[in-house]
Amino acid sequence: MLERVRPVAGRVGRPQRRPKTLYADKAYHSESNRLHLRMKGIRCRIARPKIESRERLGRKRWVVERTIAWFHRFRRLLVRYERRADIHQAFLTLASCIILLRALNG
């Protein structure tokens, strides 16, 4: 998934190609994941089992969990009925537009 991250626009100059830090829960704790991130130059904040509580990463991960919950309000995205990836991507894009429109309208 990291390979598919598009360049981040906004600042003047060359666009950033990768995130600086990756936040993940205990399910992604493995030396191979950490090594892969180190090779890419990405700082990892992965909770370690039996050492770190989930509350420390919860403040950052809450944004992701909330956004996934917004997508799950659309039943067609909650259960993936489409076999073709392009149709599913179209519904994800449509749901993103609707979520953004609702946020802008207040």
pTM of the model: 0.55
Q: What is the pLDDT of residue 52?
A: 63
- 65: its two tokens: 């969990």
Supply the pLDDT for residue 101: 93
With 0-12 CB in 10 A as exposed, 13-18 as middle and 19+ as buried, what is 47?
Answer: buried
Q: Are 24 and 46 in contact (CB under 8 A)?
A: yes
pLDDT digits (tens, 9 = 90+) for 63-80: 777 888 889 898 888 888
104 versus 14: the higher-pLDDT residue is 104
What are the tens digits of pLDDT across the range 10-34? 667 776 667 788 877 777 788 888 8
Query: Hey, where are the domains in the chain?
Result: 1-57
pLDDT score of 90: 93
> How far apart, in whole angstroms, are the C-alpha atoms of residue 88 and residue 94?
10
Half-sphere exposure of 48 (CA within 13 A, CB side): 5
